[in-house]
Structure 1
């Protein structure tokens, strides 16, 4: 993800809905997030009627518009019933869902989407709209998944690779602060990536391990300094699968926050391999924080 927000201060909350049950759950989750941030919830339905006008009749277009407005009204009603004091506004957009959400979030909003849209084929897979929103966003994106597994844990998990993840760690600390919970900074060292498949000297491995720990401790020290009232735990693990460790760690968290690294693609931006795995298989909602394009813009 290219671009970045200017600070970790939480912005407005924008949620996309399409009439599916995952979108409804995402809207309720987003409402709780907006309540924590003490800001209104903005519910968006991107109908893409502008893109269909050449091949749909006027009657069909009106049907699409009516269905979209009904989705917005039903979602707003469900949110208001659950959060009666929360300011809620709705937006029916004639544009497609992805540009509608990006535009509504502006420079500092947070976009929330469900883990599967109306056209999804598996409850484990993130829909194409969600993937495009996450890959192209310049503001934080939260994919809501893994929320049917019981009570909150009171823990926010942040994936940290090096000092370039300081900004995403700040966002995670802010989320932990809003929840009055703790923050776990987790660095996963892929030893095969670091030393290769060829046998190496033990001293080399120890040196690399020390360098990895230093990166993590540097981020941890800064977060403790900036968020003195938040309990911060710093952990490092070695594994041949970074994504596997993070998926397992997400079982003990209410939210997983990570830098939204992006790989170059022939058809536009795509999520890196680890990020892609997490948004499909994490056991809790995943928040992707945009990165400067020059800071590890691709993910190996």
Structure 2
């Protein structure tokens, strides 16, 4: 793999750029994130020329390389103008963007991608590179959405499905602490999925609601125990759409933290993303941080 600068620090913030406006926005967001985390920023352009070598002329391939290097140089200049003290490295890769980003991140980097690239389909709310990067991730991935200069809300939102999501809630607590923000734990449950085809009685509904509230209370208490100084709130909501409730809640958050990559199931879309995760990535009003689930071989946070 061709590289303009050395291999990145193993805990760098990694951002992919392709010359599009969402990618430029993601790069500046990633720069701010790197400053916040006190980490280097590594900017990657995956040209994908190796995979198309049989179909590209020498001249076309060289123009692609020149364009990629210019995109990297422009991005580095933009970042330096806004964040002069940040250590930035750049990398031109001849393999595809998704592979390039995962290689650069290794086991401990955090990947940042824009919500849409140069695919030319404006109706798609998340480009294929962003979707594939999130679906295949073994390290945390942040999809930058809704970060267009809006004032910070001072809240990190975490989606809690059940007691197994305690790890993501604790991850979200660290993110909130890092941002000097509050943390809202949101557990959304669908009554229809809870009772199946049986018509529920009032007692059924109250019992199911109590079970869901107990799960959230247990997770909330565990987070509070480890982060006693953190401003913390938790809510359990009944909704016909888990994704819809999370998207609505994202209006009031600076970051939404969710469990990401998991073992494939019949309810997965793309590769290893659930339907709810897929929908949130397309429609959220704030950046979405996906943390790979246990068993997905992900490293510690960057």
TM-score normalised by structure 1 residue count: 0.90
Residues 136, 261 of structure 1: CA spacing in aligned structure 2 closer, same or farther, 3 A cutoff?
A: closer
Residue equivalent to 1:50:
50
Matched with 1:249 is: 249
Tell me the SS of whatever aligns to 1:101: helix
The counterpart of 1:273, out of the listed 275, 284, 290, is 275
Separation (CA, whole Å) in 2 of partners of 1:211 and 1:157: 22
Q: Does 1:283 align with 2:285?
A: yes
Change (3 A) 1:293 1:201: farther
Q: What is the SS of the residue equivalent to 2:90?
A: strand
Provide the secondary structure at the position in 2 that maps to 1:288: strand
Q: Distance in 2 between matches of 1:257 and 1:86?
A: 25
Measure the CA separation in 1 of the matches of 2:105 and 2:174: 19
For 1:267 and 1:290, the matched residues in 2 are separated by: 16
Aligned equivalents of 2:113 and 2:74: distance in 1? 17
Q: Under a length normalisation based on structure 2, what TM-score does the superposition of the two structures give? A: 0.90
**Aligned position for 2:108:** 108
Structure 1 runs not aligned, ≥5 long: 1-9, 295-300
Moved more, 274-283 or 208-217: 208-217
Whole-angstrom CA distance in 2 between matches of 1:124 and 1:93: 26
Deviations 1:53-87 (A, max 9, x none): 22211111111111000000000110111111111
Match of 2:22 in 1: 22
CA distance in 1, matches of 2:250, 2:270: 29
Q: How does 1:141-160 map to 2 (within 5 A)?
A: 141-148=141-148, 150-160=150-160
SS in 2 for 1:198: coil
Aligned Cα root-mean-square deviation (Å): 1.9
- 119-128 vs 64-73, greater mean Cα deviation: 119-128
Q: Partners of 2:269 and 2:239 in 1: how far apart?
A: 32
Q: Distance in 2 between matches of 1:236 and 1:261?
A: 24
> In structure 1, how many angstroms separate the alpha carbons of the residues matched to 2:148 and 2:100?
28
SS of the residue corresponding to residue 15 of structure 2 reads strand
Distance of 1:76 and 1:200 partners within structure 2: 58
1:83 lines up with 2:83 in the alignment: yes
Aligned residues: 285
Q: Which runs of 5+ in 2 are unaligned?
A: 1-9, 297-302
Whether the 8 Å contact between 1:152 and 1:254 is mirrored in structure 2 is yes
Distance in 2 between residues matched to 1:200 and 1:32, nearest whole Å: 49
Contact 1:158 1:185 survives alignment (8 Å):
yes
Contact 2:156 2:175 in 1 (8 A): yes
Q: Contact 1:124–1:281 (CA<8 Å) still a contact in 2?
A: no
Compute the displacement of 1:261 (Å).
Answer: 5.0
Residue 208 (structure 2) pairs with residue 208 (structure 1): yes
1:1-300 alignment runs, 5 A limit: 11-122=11-122, 125-148=125-148, 150-262=150-262, 263-264=264-265, 269-293=271-295
> What is the CA–CA distance in structure 2 between the aligned matches of 1:18 and 1:38, rounded to whole Å?
25
Of the structure 1 ranges 222-231 and 104-113, higher mean CA displacement relative to structure 2 is found in 222-231
Partner SS, residue 158 of structure 1: strand
Offset at 1:123? Answer: 6.3
Q: What does residue 3 of structure 1 align with?
A: none
Aligned to 1:18, the other structure's residue is in SS state: coil
**Deviation readout 1:6-64 (Å, 9 max, x if unpaired):** xxxx9421000000000000000001111000000010000112112222111111111
Q: Distance in 2 between matches of 1:92 and 1:289?
A: 26
- Contact kept, 8 Å, 1:98 with 1:133, in 2: the verdict is yes
